[in-house]
Amino acid sequence: MSAVSKDDDPMTNSAKSADPGAESGGTGTLTEPREGESLLKVTGLKKHFPVTKGLFKRQVGAVLAVDGLDFDVRSGETLGVVGESGCGKSTMGRLITRLLEPTDGKIEFEGKDITHLGVSGMRPMRRDIQMIFQDPYSSLNPRHTVGAIVGAPFKLQGVHPEGGVKKEVQRLLEVVGLSPEHYNRYPHEFSGGQRQRIGIARALALNPKLVVADEPVSALDVSIQAQVVNLLDDLQDELGLTYVIIAHDLSVIRHVSDRIAVMYLGKLVELTDRQSLYETPMHPYTRALLSAVPVPDPRRKAAQGRERILLQGDVPSPMNPPSGCRFHTRCWKATEVCKVKEPPLIPLATGHQVACHHPENAPDQQPGDTKLLREAKAALDGAVKEQG
């Protein structure tokens, strides 16, 4: 299924039987990428939302929600995307599923440029690229039956599965662990976890290749989260799906991801495989995020040498991001160069891309004889006091 085994994770499995449903399959018009090959490629992707003022809606600025992303998603993998609220994760998800028009950059799916495809151009692509939304309550129309909701993609795409839509929808309900008898029920009759299963069934209806899930479990109780995460895992194994999973919860990301992309203020700051990210994070922001994840066993905590790093201040406004490295206003390692020169996202180890002038877990990690910025020094002092 994936480049990195997820078997060492404590979360357990709940295998469901599934048939890929060839009759409802994808477009089949493009060359199928083999496992590990790039399915989706994003270059210089930007989304700037204009900020307008007055009666004539004069543009007075822009929210730089996504501001130059470069990454690829490999066939069969799960790319986890993590970062604080407002860093542009959902915007990125909506851009790559083409629910939003990019301001700049390029999106290629199976080698085909889909950046500016219109509604009709995207129609065949919609079968291959699907999205699962965060809120299972608002993402399902309360006036429609489960049968109508899960069957809608067939109608929209004019797909006629063998045996009829009803039979196919009932099969999908079973695949996601619901009952075929749920066909005539309404969303309000289901719990949050079951509703998310309905949303997953709808996303799988046309046997997509890429599924982008935006915070798929964050609206659910912790006990139900594990079930839905395991379901996504099982479906990936059985159907050969490729996932981009967006979450702010690092333990969910750790469980599901093969590779992880860390975002900060519209930019990628680190991209690597799961093991490298958790064991040898190189970006100070990643280190700070990881240090905030509780470690249940105190002996493990000591062994990992993980002291808590408290980030000072809020995330700056994406309307007016800081110069140079956008993290410099909160980074305890910031130097003058960080303030004026934006660090590019470059490979600093095999398969490990980082955007930092003074990366962690690297020979040149120390700021050396360069002077720490005054604000950053104050932030460090504050963090030390908090810990003391």
Residues that bind ligand SF4 (CB under 6 A): 283-284, 325, 327-328, 331, 333-334, 338, 343, 356-358
Minimal distance in Å, beta carbon 126 to ligand SF4? 38
Contacted by 284, from ligand ATP, Mg ion, ligand SF4, none: CB < 5 to 8 Å by type: ligand SF4
Question: Closest CB to Mg ion belongs to which residue?
Answer: 90
Minimal distance in Å, beta carbon 167 to ligand SF4? 54
DSSP letters of 73-116? EETT-EEEEE-STTSSHHHHHHHHTTSS--SEEEEEETTEE-TT
Contacted by 255, from Mg ion, ligand SF4, ligand ATP, none: CB < 5 to 8 Å by type: none
Closer Cβ to ligand SF4, 278 or 285, answer by number: 285
Minimal distance in Å, beta carbon 340 to ligand SF4? 11
Distance separating alpha carbons of residues 238 and 88, to the nearest angstrom: 31
Distance separating alpha carbons of residues 67 and 223, to the nearest angstrom: 36
Could you give the angle at the alpha carbon of 242 between the alpha carbons of 238 and 245, nearest 5°?
A: 115
Q: Which of residues 23-62 bind Mg ion (CB under 5 A)?
A: none
Closer Cβ to ligand ATP, 62 or 122, answer by number: 62
Contacted by 2, from Mg ion, ligand ATP, ligand SF4, none: CB < 5 to 8 Å by type: none
* CA distances in angstroms from 248 to 13, 36, 238, 263, listed in the order given: 23, 25, 26, 10
Minimal distance in Å, beta carbon 334 to ligand SF4? 4
# binding residues, Mg ion (CB under 5 A): 1
Closer Cβ to ligand ATP, 59 or 85, answer by number: 85
- One of 2, 24, 75, 90 touching Mg ion (CB under 5 A): 90
Sign of the CA dihedral running 83, 84, 87, 91: positive
3-state secondary structure at position 167 = helix
Closer Cβ to ligand SF4, 140 or 355, answer by number: 355
Minimal distance in Å, beta carbon 329 to ligand SF4? 8
Closer Cβ to ligand SF4, 46 or 358, answer by number: 358
Contacted by 193, from ligand SF4, Mg ion, ligand ATP, none: CB < 5 to 8 Å by type: none
Cβ proximity of 102 and 46 under 8 Å: yes
Distance separating alpha carbons of residues 48 and 69, to the nearest angstrom: 13
Sign of the CA dihedral running 113, 115, 120, 125: positive
Contacted by 333, from ligand SF4, ligand ATP, Mg ion, none: CB < 5 to 8 Å by type: ligand SF4
* CA-based R_g, the chain, Å: 22
Contacted by 248, from Mg ion, ligand SF4, ligand ATP, none: CB < 5 to 8 Å by type: ligand ATP
Cβ proximity of 70 and 270 under 8 Å: no
- Which positions lie near ligand ATP, rule CB under 6 A? 49, 63, 65, 83, 85-91, 248, 318
Residue 206: Cβ within 10 Å count: 21
Tell me: does residue 91 bind Mg ion (CB under 5 A): no
Place of tokens 């822009």: 62
* Residue 263, strand partner residues: 268
Q: Would you tell me which residues interact with Mg ion (CB under 5 A)?
A: 90
